């Protein structure tokens, strides 16, 4: 996997996360809205692990030089099943401004055009209507419900598997 340190979207810049970003990312993950979806106990350690993991490219999302979230991708490299998966979180103070859509579109374009993937997947919680709406704007389509896919403090919850084929990408 070729590593690109900086990707530019219409309004956001994605750049590989570094140690100085940990405090901002922990602050964002600690907000109730993000923490309810991205749980964790030692957020600083988990963030550092995400930055250091070689199987994943972990980017901060910047708007006008300010860290507003994170987006990451990883690959299934078996040639018979090759695809990339995406995960994202955005600071709730910036929700509703199109930052998530621009970040997902920017990363999806990179994965298709530069990394050569023909299929991308993303798996929001089935009740996360804002995320589903965001991903749909980029061209992701629902594939199906993954029943009792993830667990939190209240129990098991469904996830929605969505995918995007290269020809379906809605470019900006």
Predicted confidence at residue 4, as pLDDT, reads: 74
We report the CATH number of the domain holding residue 94 as 3.40.630.30
Alpha-carbon distance of 137 to 22, in angstroms, equals: 29
Pair type for strands 56-63 and 13-16: antiparallel
Question: Could you report the per-residue pLDDT of 65-114, keeping only the tens digit for each?
Answer: 999 999 999 999 999 999 999 999 999 999 999 999 999 999 999 999 99
Q: Which residues form the domain of 28?
A: 6-168
Q: Is pLDDT at 117 greater than 60 in this prediction? A: yes
Residues whose CB is less than 8 angstroms from the CB of residue 114 and which lie 6 or more positions away in sequence, other chains included: 2, 4
The number of folded domains in the chain is 1
134: left (phi over 0), alpha (psi -120 to 50) or beta: alpha
Phi, psi of 28 (to 5 degrees): -65, -45
Q: Is pLDDT at 3 greater than 70 in this prediction? A: no
Alpha-carbon distance of 91 to 80, in angstroms, equals: 36
Average pLDDT for 146-156: 92
Average pLDDT for 122-137: 97
**Does 108 map to a domain?**
yes
Q: How far is CA 17 from CA 22, 62, 78, 106, in A?
A: 8, 10, 27, 16
**Does 1 map to a domain?**
no
**Does 78 map to a domain?**
yes
Percent of the chain scoring above 90 in pLDDT: 89
């Amino acid at each position: 996997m070729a590593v690109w340190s900086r990707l530019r979207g219409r309004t956001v810049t994605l750049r590989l996360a570094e140690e100085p970003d940990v405090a901002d990312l922990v602050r964002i993950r600690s907000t109730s809205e993000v923490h309810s979806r991205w749980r964790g106990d030692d957020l600083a350690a988990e963030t550092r692990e995400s930055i250091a993991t070689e199987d994943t490219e972990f980017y901060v999302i910047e708007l006008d030089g300010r860290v507003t979230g994170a987006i990451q991708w990883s690959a299934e490299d078996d040639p018979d099943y090759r695809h990339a998966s995406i995960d994202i979180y955005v600071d709730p103070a910036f929700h509703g401004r199109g930052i998530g859509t621009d970040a997902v579109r920017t990363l999806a374009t990179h994965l298709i055009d530069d990394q050569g993937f023909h299929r991308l997947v993303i798996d929001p919680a089935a009740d996360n209507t804002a995320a589903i709406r965001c991903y749909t704007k980029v061209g992701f389509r629902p594939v199906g419900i993954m029943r009792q896919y993830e667990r939190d403090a209240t129990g098991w919850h469904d996830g929605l598997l969505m995918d995007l084929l290269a020809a379906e990408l809605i470019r900006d």
